[in-house]
Chain A
Amino acid sequence: MVKRGLGIALAASVALSGCVQTRQYADVQFTPPSGDYKLLVLRPDVTVGSLTTGGMVEPRADWTDQARHSIVEALRAQQARRGGKITIVEHRNEVPGVTAQELADVERLNYVVDQSIVLHKYLGDYLPTKRGKGLDWTLGADAVKLGQKTGYDYALFLHAEDSVASGGRIALGVLGLAGCFIGFCAPNVGGQQQLDYASLVDLKTGEVVWFNVVTAGSEIPGIKFGDLRTPEGAAQMVDRLLGRMKPGKEAAKGVVMTPEPQEKR
Chain B
Amino acid sequence: MCSRCLELTRRSLLAGGAATAAALHAGVAQARVRPQDMVPLVGPGFKPTERDEIGLWKEMDRVEEEISGTNLLITDRNITGYLRDLIGTVGGPAAKDFRIYLARIPEFNAMMFPTGFAVVFSGLLLRMRNEAQLAGVIAHESGHFLRRHMIRSWRDQKRKTDLFAIGAMLAGVGGAGAGVYLGDYVQLAQLGTILSLFQYSRAMEAEADSMGARLIADTGYPPVEMANIWEQLIGEENASARYRGKHRRKGSIFDTHPSEGSRMADLRADAAEITVPGKVYDAHRDRYLTNIGPIRPMLLDDQVKLNDPGASQYLIETLAQDGWNGLLRFYEGEVWRLRNRPGDEQRAAQSYAAAVAYPDAPAEAWRSHGIELMKQGRSAEAKSAFRRYLTIKPDAPDAAWVRSMAG
CB distance from B143 to the nearest CB of A (A): 22
**Which residue from B57, B69, B162, B164 sits with its C-beta under 8 Å from A168?**
B162
**Which residue from A1, A60, A176, A182 sits with its C-beta under 8 Å from B62?**
A1
CB distance from A141 to the nearest CB of B (A): 18
| Residues of chain B with a CB closer than 8 A to A45's CB | 62
Is B305 positioned at the interface, with any CB of A under 8 Å from its CB? no
Say yes or no: A54 contacts B162, CB within 8 Å: yes
Q: In the docked arrangement, what's the CA distance between A55 and B161, Å?
A: 7
**Which residue from B58, B60, B169 sits with its C-beta under 8 Å from A172?**
B169
CB distance from A100 to the nearest CB of B (A): 7
Q: In the docked arrangement, what's the CA distance between A1 and B150, Å?
A: 15
Say yes or no: B173 contacts A100, CB within 8 Å: no
| Residues of chain A with a CB closer than 8 A to B172's CB | 176, 179, 184, 186
**Which residue from B59, B160, B161, B162 sits with its C-beta under 8 Å from A1?**
B59
**Which residue from A2, A101, A182 sits with its C-beta under 8 Å from B177?**
A182
**Which residue from B66, B158, B176 sits with its C-beta under 8 Å from A54?**
B158
Q: Of all chain A residues, which has the CB nearest B113? A: A1
Q: In the docked arrangement, what's the CA distance between A183 and B175, Å?
A: 10
Interface hit among B47-55, B104-112, B266-274, B397-405: B47-55
Chain B: interface secondary structure?
A: helix
| Residues of chain A with a CB closer than 8 A to B338's CB | none
Say yes or no: A179 contacts B165, CB within 8 Å: no
Say yes or no: B164 contacts A54, CB within 8 Å: yes
Say yes or no: A184 contacts B175, CB within 8 Å: yes
> Which residues of B173-196 have CB atoms within 8 Å of chain A's CB atoms?
173, 175-177
Say yes or no: B173 contacts A178, CB within 8 Å: yes
| Residues of chain B with a CB closer than 8 A to A64's CB | 55, 58
> Which residues of B68-105 have CB atoms within 8 Å of chain A's CB atoms?
69
Say yes or no: B169 contacts A182, CB within 8 Å: no
Q: In the docked arrangement, what's the CA distance between A189 and B164, Å?
A: 13
Is B63 positioned at the interface, with any CB of A under 8 Å from its CB? yes
Q: In the docked arrangement, what's the CA distance between A55 and B62, Å?
A: 24
Q: How many residues of B sit at the interface, in one of the four size bands?
A: 20 to 34
Say yes or no: B69 contacts A101, CB within 8 Å: yes
Q: In the docked arrangement, what's the CA distance between A95 and B47, Å?
A: 30
Say yes or no: A54 contacts B161, CB within 8 Å: yes
Q: Of all chain B residues, which has the CB nearest A1? A: B63
| Residues of chain A with a CB closer than 8 A to B59's CB | 1, 47, 59
- Most interface-central of B55, B63, B164 (chain A CB within 10 A): B55
Say yes or no: A59 contacts B165, CB within 8 Å: no
Is A20 positioned at the interface, with any CB of B under 8 Å from its CB? no
CB distance from B200 to the nearest CB of A (A): 15
> Which residues of B133-191 have CB atoms within 8 Å of chain A's CB atoms?
157-158, 160-166, 169-170, 172-173, 175-177
Interface contacts beyond A45-B62, A55-B165, A61-B55: sample of 16 additional A-B pairs, CB < 8 Å, sorted by A: A1-B62, A1-B63, A2-B66, A52-B158, A53-B162, A56-B157, A56-B161, A58-B52, A58-B55, A61-B57, A100-B69, A176-B173, A178-B173, A179-B176, A184-B177, A189-B165
Report 24 cross-chain contacts, Cβ distance below 8 Å, ordered by A residue.
A1-B60, A1-B63, A2-B66, A47-B59, A52-B158, A53-B162, A54-B160, A54-B161, A54-B162, A54-B164, A55-B161, A55-B165, A56-B158, A60-B51, A61-B51, A61-B55, A92-B69, A172-B166, A178-B173, A179-B172, A182-B177, A184-B172, A184-B173, A186-B169
Could you list which residues of chain A lie within 8 angstroms of chain B, going by C-beta atoms?
1-2, 45, 47, 49, 52-56, 58-62, 64, 92, 100-101, 104, 168, 172, 175-176, 178-179, 182-184, 186, 189
Enumerate the 7 nearest inter-chain pairs by beta-carbon distance, A residue then B residue, closest first: A54-B161, A184-B176, A59-B55, A179-B173, A61-B58, A53-B162, A54-B162
